[in-house]
Amino acid sequence: MNPFRIDGPALISFSGGRTSGYMLHRIVEAHGGQLPDNVHVAFANTGKEREETLRFVHECGSRWGVKINWLEWRRDGFEQVGFNSASRDGEPFRALIDWKQRLPNSFERWCTEFLKVKTMFAFARSIGFPDGSYAEVIGLRNDEGHRILKSMDNAKFVKRKGVPVPRDPARRVSFPLAKAKIVKMDVMRFWLGPTGAFPSDDLPQGFDLGLAPWEGNCDLCFLKGKGIRKRLIRDNPSVTEWWKEREIEQAGFFDKRDLVSDLVQDVLSSPSLFDDFDTDEFDAECGLVCA
């Protein structure tokens, strides 16, 4: 059986990265160019996605004739937006922080929980999908086995005061990329040609995300390693302003290892030095690493 033929009801989680874009293409292709009526695609925008990500999501939908539901978290559920009306200055993320009155961090990753996962759930309920009645189609590859196991565990259990409690009903999760034995290089070659290297003048699909693999969709996610974040700050110093403002407002930190202002000072003290980092250090698209 073709792992990319999805039996509905199903909700395809589109993070806006190359991997989930590849998965969506294969699913549409497997269905002859048109998704079944009970298979929906959703992209949850936090307001801190890169502009390249927003353009990429829009291109995938328009070029492939797929309706991608653009969602943003609201305290009462979600709001459906589009490419032009999508938040671009972290408005949903800031509203969530103001409501929580503290910052998410590597131990409390509720930014993804609310801005991505709960927003997707709210959308599913709005279209008549009761909890546990539909498949959540997630773009994790065969070389991301540990993330798949974690996702499967999260589908069965929810933590209450740190204690895992069985979900009732359990979530149904599907990983077509893993079933098809797709790995990172398969995805990169699909978008960037035979070498799979970025940047590339050879774009087999006619378009691409346009981001280096280590940049990620979220412009300065605190789960990225220190070396990556310092490189991002050197490349685009203005990216820090939103994150610094939130740390000041909440008198807290996103990453207990380093305040964003400390990273800025590190970069200013060594403006021409680029730190070493593992390009696979943060190879999960936002919404997958901690969903």
Q: How far does Cα 175 stand from its chain's mean position? A: 15
Residue 278: the pLDDT is 56
Measure Cα distances from 200 to 54, 178, 185, 256, 277 in Å.
20, 26, 14, 37, 22
Residue 168: the pLDDT is 87
Residue 289: the pLDDT is 47
Per-residue pLDDT of 32-60, as tens digits, reads 999 999 999 999 999 999 999 999 999 99
| 71, containing H or E segment | strand 68-74
Residue 218, classed as helix, strand or coil, is strand
Residue 270: the pLDDT is 85
User: At residue 147, what are phi and psi to the nearest 5 degrees?
Assistant: -75, -35
Residue 291: the pLDDT is 39
Q: Do 128 and 279 touch, CB atoms closer than 8 A?
A: no
| 158, containing H or E segment | strand 157-160
Per-residue pLDDT tens digits of the chain, which is 291 residues long: 899 999 999 999 999 999 999 999 999 999 999 999 999 999 999 999 999 999 999 999 999 999 999 999 999 999 999 999 999 999 999 999 999 999 999 888 899 999 999 999 999 999 999 999 999 999 999 999 999 999 999 899 988 877 889 998 999 999 999 999 999 999 999 999 999 999 999 999 999 999 998 888 999 999 888 889 999 999 999 999 999 999 999 999 999 889 999 999 999 998 777 666 655 444 456 655 443
Residue 290: the pLDDT is 44
Q: How far apart are CA 70 and CA 44, in angstroms?
A: 6
Residue 39, classed as helix, strand or coil, is strand
The domain locations on the chain are 10-192
Top-tier CATH class for 10-192: alpha beta
Per-residue pLDDT of 120-164, as tens digits, reads 999 999 999 999 999 999 999 999 999 999 999 989 998 887 788
Preceding omega of 194 cis (within 30 degrees of 0): no
